[in-house]
Structure formats: structure tokens, C-alpha cells
Structure 1
Amino acid sequence: MRDPEAIRLVIADDQALVRGALAALLGLEADIDVVAEAGDGAEAVAAVLEHAADVALLDVQMPGVDGLAAAELLRRKAPGCRVLMVTTFGRPGYVRRALQAGAAGFVVKDTPARQLAEAVRKVHAGLRVIDPSLAAESLVAGESPLTVREVDVLRVAADGGTVADIAREVYLSEGTVRNHLSSAMAKTGGRTRGDAARIASENGWLL
């Protein structure tokens, strides 16, 4: 029988196998009760509200409402619920943005089950938990140097779009797009627009 004082946990991940594995592992802990699973951020927020969850385990990249947007929604709608981001993409820029969104912790999915359970306990207790290597990388990477428009054009460039494709997508002239791409390449140190998009993505600047 579950402990009525157990931590009520909602797990959100768009990959059913990953979500199920996390739920199974954390569900083995006597003091953690997985009350719901969700496939995206909107479902996660609804589940937290429905089950009065104490902690939400959110993947960063999910369709529709992603983990960062869900964290911001929970900060407003369920301020008593602590958010722990768990992701495959351990990029330093994501850590900064997760904390700005109100998350209390950030760990990667290959974190051992025992450590993940301990991270859930710590954020529930009001502590902040950040993967040490990501915390160090985040300090080194610094804030994003890109403007909103540079991010817009790099997102399309990351999918292999031409200058004409990017111009149509972001409603800018081709000349303006070239200027933004040139500036973004200079700021990221990328030799090509694809290279600039990759570097920006690795730093979590395109999310």
C-alpha cells in the first residue's frame, strides 16, 4: 500500500517507451507515487492540476506545448508543484532557459535511477538540482547572443531551407534574411548557415 505522504509525481515525455520506463523505475520507490503520465506539456499541466501533483518531471522537447512552456504554465497555475526537467539534450542553453521558466532542477535521461529518484526528492524538498557538468557548461556558454529574428532564420536554416525558403517562412526579404544569417554566423562562429544553426542548437539557443 502506498504511503499517503508519498511524493505525487507526473511524468511527461513524448516517447511512450521512455515515459513508461521512467514511470516503472520511479514507481518502485516507496516514497514516490507516479499519479499520471503525459505525452506533451498540455497534458502534463492538466494532469498536475487534476492530481494535485507535488513534482512534474518534464521532457524539454515535446510536440505542441514543450517542457519549458509547460514549466511556465505550472509556475502560474500550480505554484506548489516543483518542476524537474529531464532530457536527452543536455545543452547548456536549456539549463538557463529551464531555470528562467521556473524549473527547480535539470538532469539528463541517462542519470541512474537512484540519482533521478533522489533528484525528485530534493526538488520536492525545495532544493535546486542541476547536473554538475551542465551547470559548468552553462556558465561557460553564457547568454544567447542571437536576436529574435536571427533565431527565427536559423530555425528554418536548421531544416535545410534555402534563403528563399527562409524568407517565405519568416516573412522577410531575401536580403534581410542574408543579413540575419551573416550576423548569426559571425556570432556563433559558424562557417555556413547550417553550421551556425547546429552551434546555436547545441547551446540551446533555438528552442
Structure 2
Amino acid sequence: MTERPRPPATTVLIADDDMLARRAISDYLSMVEDFNVVAAVTDGAKAVEFITNHGVEMALLDVNMPRMDGIEAASLIHAASPGTMIIMLTSFDDDDLLRRALASGAAGYLLKNLRAAQLIAALRAARQGLPAVSPEMLASLRTPAAPANAFPALTPRETEVLEQLWAGRSNAQIAAALFISQSAVKAHVSSLMTKFGTQSRLETIARAHDLGFSGPH
């Protein structure tokens, strides 16, 4: 019986000014075959430069770095390479930093206290479109910030999709639950992001909660 060829490994850039942290994260990802670290840099400016010139599928950014911090780098990377998934990987469990990172285009916010297996599982979940947030930070998403405007008008289907996102389900799981195609799910998610003025699924959930959404009833 012929084995199915494995999908190519996800290319990863690590940006962290701490040499030990860069080495540890790289070592963690080298333990598995579905991630391939192609660059490890010391600041946000170098991360932006590398991704603009070469492109990667996933960027792991520390928040506090010299020359350019991770949040500014995330915003520039998101603009230059929208297909790059940005994950903040940091020691700062700060609510404001979490929200600023999501607003800059980050798809996740993970703390460096994760073990190797936890980090790999979180990155795999993010790759499947699931929220990637350390458990310690989840409470931040349930603590509303001051709303800047009213909750947008949603169609019944968009409300159902938002409820599914809130439950942490992937596109495939949402499609199965609502008996629609995955392409339809993507279209509804895109519409939700437009209406909420957000740049990621996770930021959409946080923004909806800020405006009073509390999940399915």
C-alpha cells in the first residue's frame, strides 16, 4: 500500500532578542516534522525585512525587542504579507498588549511558559484556524474593554457562525454543524471581520465580547 505523501512543513520565522529563547523555540519545533524554522532573528525590523523579501507561513514574535517591537512588526508583516500567520510568543501576560497584538493582525498570543508539547499543539491549532491564546490570557478576552461603537447588525447566519467561533471551532467543524460548505463559512467569517473591523478570528471574538456578545444562549 502506497503511503500518502506528507504535506510540506510550515515555514516559521522566530523573532526574539533572547538567544536562549530563540534556541529553545527552534529546538522545540525541530522535534516534529510539520514545522520548519527557516529564520531566527533578533528584532522586529529584521523579521519584517526577511518576511517581505522571502515570505514565511508563520511568524513567532516576541513583544519586547530592540529597534522594533513585536506589535509594530506584526502590523507591518500583516500589511506586507497577509498570508503570514502571526503568533505573539512572549513573557508579558498583559491585557492591553494582548488586545494591541490582535489589532495589529496577530492570530494568537502565547506565553513562553508553555512546554514543548503545549507550544506545538497551540501552533497546530492556530494553523487549523483555531484560537491560540495561553489559558492565563483567556480571561482578558472575557473582560470587555470600553466599546468604541455599537454592535454591528448581523444576519442570522453570521450570528450562528460567530457563536461557532466563540466555541473555538474550525471551519470544517462549523460547516458540519451548520450544514454549509467550508467556502461559505470562510465568506461569513470574512464578513464578520469586516463588520467588526478586525483582522483575525480571535480579534473578532474579543471585539464581539467587548460590544456585549456573550456566546450562544
TM over 0.5: yes
Task: Give % identity.
Answer: 39
Residue in structure 1 matching 2:10, options 7, 10, 29: 7
Q: RMSD value over aligned CA atoms?
A: 1.9
Kept in 1: contact 2:43–2:65 (CA 8 A): yes
Question: How far apart are the structure 1 equivalents of 2:29 and 2:52?
Answer: 20
Q: Which deviates the most, 55-64 or 115-124?
A: 115-124
Question: How far apart are the structure 2 equivalents of 1:93 and 1:81?
Answer: 23
User: Which residue of structure 2 lines up, in the alignment, with residue 181 of structure 1?
Assistant: none
Question: How far apart are the structure 2 equivalents of 1:131 and 1:142?
Answer: 19
Question: How far apart are the structure 2 equivalents of 1:124 and 1:44?
Answer: 20
Alignment of 1:167-182 (within 5 A): none
Kept in 1: contact 2:12–2:58 (CA 8 A): yes
User: Which residue of structure 1 lines up, in the alignment, with residue 93 of structure 2?
Assistant: 90
Question: How far apart are the structure 2 equivalents of 1:91 and 1:128?
Answer: 17
Give, in angstroms, the shift of residue 49 of structure 1.
Answer: 3.1
SS at 1:140's partner residue? coil
User: Which residue of structure 2 lines up, in the alignment, with residue 17 of structure 1?
Assistant: 20
SS at 2:125's partner residue? helix
User: Which residue of structure 1 lines up, in the alignment, with residue 182 of structure 2?
Assistant: none
AA partner of residue 99 (structure 2) = R
Question: How far apart are the structure 1 equivalents of 2:119 and 2:53?
Answer: 24
Kept in 2: contact 1:92–1:135 (CA 8 A): no
Question: How far apart are the structure 2 equivalents of 1:81 and 1:23?
Answer: 18
Alignment of 1:33-182 (within 5 A): 33-140=36-143, 142=145
What 5-or-longer segments of structure 1 have no aligned partner?
A: 144-207
Give, in angstroms, the shift of residue 123 of structure 1.
Answer: 2.1
For residues 90-113 of structure 1, what are the alpha-carbon distances to aligned partners after superposition, in whole Å with 9 as ceiling and x for unaligned? 112111111011100001001111
AA partner of residue 56 (structure 2) = A
In the superposition, the TM-score normalised over structure 2's length comes to 0.61
In the superposition, the TM-score normalised over structure 1's length comes to 0.64
Kept in 1: contact 2:93–2:136 (CA 8 A): no
Question: How far apart are the structure 1 equivalents of 2:62 and 2:73?
Answer: 10
Give, in angstroms, the shift of residue 122 of structure 1.
Answer: 2.2
Query: How many residues matched?
Result: 142
For residues 32-65 of structure 1, what are the alpha-carbon distances to aligned partners after superposition, in whole Å with 9 as ceiling and x for unaligned? 0000001000111222234421000000111111
What 5-or-longer segments of structure 2 have no aligned partner?
A: 1-5, 147-217
SS at 2:121's partner residue? helix
Q: For the structure 1 residues 118 and 51, does the alpha-carbon distance in structure 2 shift closer, same or farther, using more than 3 Å as the test? A: farther
Kept in 2: contact 1:60–1:67 (CA 8 A): yes
The structure with the largest alpha-carbon Rg is: 1
